Amino acid sequence: MDEYHEMYGSKPNPIWKLAESVSIVEAALLILDIEPQGVSAYVENYRADQLPLGYLAARNAVASALKAHKVEGDRQQVERVDGKGQTYWDENSVDVEKSSVEIDSLRAWLSGKDFSGNFFASRNKEPSFKSKMHPRYSPKLAAVVEAWEAYEDNQDTVGTPKQRLEKWLRLNAARFGFTDESGAPQEQVIKDLAKVANWATRGGAPKQIDEEPNPF
């Protein structure tokens, strides 16, 4: 990729990481690890053999993802002229210069494709499965892991690990959509998830747990 940095500019300035959204053209350049400033304004005017290697593939992939609602953003259509000289908006088109995509949504989509690149590498250590924007997001998987992580071994709380996991899942049921029409936790779901997260399956004498009122 170094030859492209010589032809089209330097690698992306880290300040781009502060952006909430970028145009599809800018997104394609960032995917290729090329600084968009000074390039995005004219790259669409290049012949195919003058474009950075992979640019068309990256641009078209992002445009298709936006059109298919797999990436959040603002889709703008292309204005065309028909045979009678009348202008119209092409409903099946995506204006790659005027349309924009949200950075976080784009990063999650790229992660789901097992592609991140240097610029779109995750900004934090949070696993992608916890992101609701990830195409393979599973609320049950996220809930099980978070319940397990929230457990504190030295916490002076009565009850078996399974009982304490169930309590946490009930309190957070609404966050993950595990409630019925009345807003009460779906008890069977809570119990099933607690079994998955529970590591103490050999039994033994648990701490005495008092009956607590259902928080819902």
Predicted local confidence at residue 134, as pLDDT: 78
Q: Report the b/e string of 113-127 with b at 16+ CB within 10 A.
A: eeeeeebbeeeeeee
Tell me the C-alpha distance between 168 and 143, whole Å.
Answer: 10
Query: What is the structure's pLDDT at 207?
Result: 53
Residue 75: is it exposed, middle or buried by C-beta count within 10 angstroms (0-12/13-18/19+)? middle
Classify residue 112 as exposed, middle or buried by CB count within 10 Å of its CB (0-12, 13-18, 19+). Answer: middle
List per-residue pLDDT tens for the chain, 216 residues long. Answer: 445 555 566 888 989 989 999 999 999 999 999 999 989 999 999 998 889 999 999 999 999 999 999 999 999 999 988 888 888 898 999 999 999 999 989 988 888 887 867 787 655 556 677 777 778 889 999 999 989 988 876 566 678 899 999 999 999 999 999 999 999 999 999 999 999 999 887 765 555 545 455 554
As a residue count, the chain comes to 216
Beta-bridged to residue 80, according to DSSP, are 88
- Contact call for residues 75 and 50 (beta carbons, < 8 A): no
Give the span between the Cα atoms of 66 and 106, in whole angstroms. Answer: 9
